[in-house]
């Protein structure tokens, strides 16, 4: 059973990423804060007695459900059609030659740290914009795999889909992102 301290530490470790992920989905900071708060409350209230190791998966699942609940609560057609339909979205398969281009640019990656704060902020904003442009399921899979550091099985469990679907979503997301970022001249 997670102690109060462990629960607090866990929430502290995930709250910022959870907020940003929610912002990418709902594109509204206030709504994202509400979603994260709601998720925290649900985790503490219903699963506060679970072992610390189970908290990350539970929280990811709760956060996803709270985000979906938020969309469901939106009564306007705009919110429903522009966002909910994204969850069913299926894009073109990735072009991995772009990834190879990315790979060839790995050598110059180290020089990135020399950029000033403004430049880094601009790059970050452009990356975030591109992530927001991804279909919701691709974005969800990509962020869980590469930002939350979850493996394929964990991501599949959290998203309620097969591991194959996670791999497909991730490869499509990576292909779309690499293509978009390359077009903007952004090197990672």
Partner 1 sequence: MTSKMQYTGSEQLQERFGRAVGRRLSAGTAELPYHITERLRAARTQAVAKRRVEPTAPAVVASGGGKLAFGGFGLWRQIASALPLVVLAGGLVLIHSIQNERRATEVAEVDAQLLTDDLPPEAYADPGFVQFLKSGH
- Of 86 and 177, the one with the shorter C-beta distance to partner 1 is 177
The whole-angstrom separation of Cα 90 and Cα 103 is 26
- Of 26 and 123, the one with the shorter C-beta distance to partner 1 is 123
- Of 80 and 121, the one with the shorter C-beta distance to partner 1 is 121
Place of tokens 């007695």: 49
**Residues in touch with partner 1 (CB under 8 A):** 4, 7-8, 11-12, 15-17, 19-20, 29, 33, 36-37, 40-41, 43-45, 48-49, 96, 99-100, 102-103, 106, 109, 120-121, 123-124, 127-128, 131, 142-143, 145-147, 149, 151-153, 170-171, 174, 177-178, 188
The 3-class SS string of 36-92 reads: HHHHHHHHHHHHCCCCHHHHHHHHHHHHHHHHHHHHHHCCCHHHHHHHHHHHHCCCC
- Of 11 and 84, the one with the shorter C-beta distance to partner 1 is 11
For residue 169 the two structure tokens come to 């979503």
For residue 60, the minimal CB distance to partner 1 (Å) is: 15
The whole-angstrom separation of Cα 77 and Cα 161 is 27
For residue 72, the minimal CB distance to partner 1 (Å) is: 21
Q: 70 to each of 80, 96, 158, how far by Cα in Å? A: 10, 35, 18
For residue 30, the minimal CB distance to partner 1 (Å) is: 9
For residue 78, the minimal CB distance to partner 1 (Å) is: 25
CB 137 within 8 A of CB 52: no
For residue 154, the minimal CB distance to partner 1 (Å) is: 9
For residue 158, the minimal CB distance to partner 1 (Å) is: 15
- Of 74 and 163, the one with the shorter C-beta distance to partner 1 is 163
- Of 33 and 90, the one with the shorter C-beta distance to partner 1 is 33
For residue 93 the two structure tokens come to 């398969």
CA dihedral of 65, 170, 118, 102, whole degrees rounded to 10: 180
């Amino acid at each position: 059973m997670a102690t109060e301290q462990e629960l607090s530490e866990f929430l502290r470790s995930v709250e910022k990423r959870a907020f940003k992920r929610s912002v990418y989905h709902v594109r509204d900071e206030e709504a994202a804060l509400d979603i994260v708060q709601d998720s925290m409350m649900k985790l503490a209230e219903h699963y506060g007695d679970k072992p610390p190791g189970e908290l990350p998966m539970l929280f990811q699942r709760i956060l996803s459900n709270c985000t979906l609940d938020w969309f469901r609560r939106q009564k306007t057609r705009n919110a429903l059609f522009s966002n909910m339909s994204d969850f069913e979205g299926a894009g073109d398969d990735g072009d991995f030659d772009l990834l190879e281009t990315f790979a060839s640019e790995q050598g110059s990656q180290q020089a990135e740290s020399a950029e000033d704060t403004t430049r880094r902020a601009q790059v970050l904003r452009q990356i975030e914009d591109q992530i927001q442009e991804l279909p919701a399921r691709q974005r969800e899979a990509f962020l869980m795999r590469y930002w939350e550091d979850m493996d394929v099985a964990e991501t599949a469990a959290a998203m309620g889909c097969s591991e194959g679907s996670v791999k497909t979503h991730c490869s499509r997301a990576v292909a779309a992102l690499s293509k978009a970022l390359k077009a903007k001249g952004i090197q990672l």
